[in-house]
Amino acid sequence: SIAYYETGKYDEGLTNMNIFFEKNKTEKFIAKDYEYLGRLQLKKENLTEAQKNIDQAVALDSTSAIAYDDLAKYYFSKDQYE
């Protein structure tokens, strides 16, 4: 799904990530899994789900600058940047 995100194929990436999340156990997911799902959701303007998944990515890896950048994009899109 990283490749789908990087090449702008957001619909295909979301489809694959959704299948991945449905077929695997939650305890096996890593921060990057949630991060890329959230990033794809941001691109498709599914903001509520994007925030939930990016928050989970940060919870799993609080050192991820990309996840914090994605959260900033989410809050900016909601005009919540004060």
pLDDT in tens, 19-41: 999 999 888 899 999 999 999 99
Q: How far apart are CA 36 and CA 28, in angstroms?
A: 15
Other CB atoms within 10 Å distance of the CB of residue 17: 23
- Indicate the SS3 state at residue 34: helix
Q: What is the model's pLDDT at position 29?
A: 95
pTM of the model: 0.86
Whether the predicted pLDDT of 81 surpasses 80: no
Whether the predicted pLDDT of 67 surpasses 80: yes
Structure tokens at 71: 């959260």
- Indicate the SS3 state at residue 61: coil
Q: What is the mean pLDDT of residues 46-70?
A: 93
Element (H, E) at 59: helix 47-60
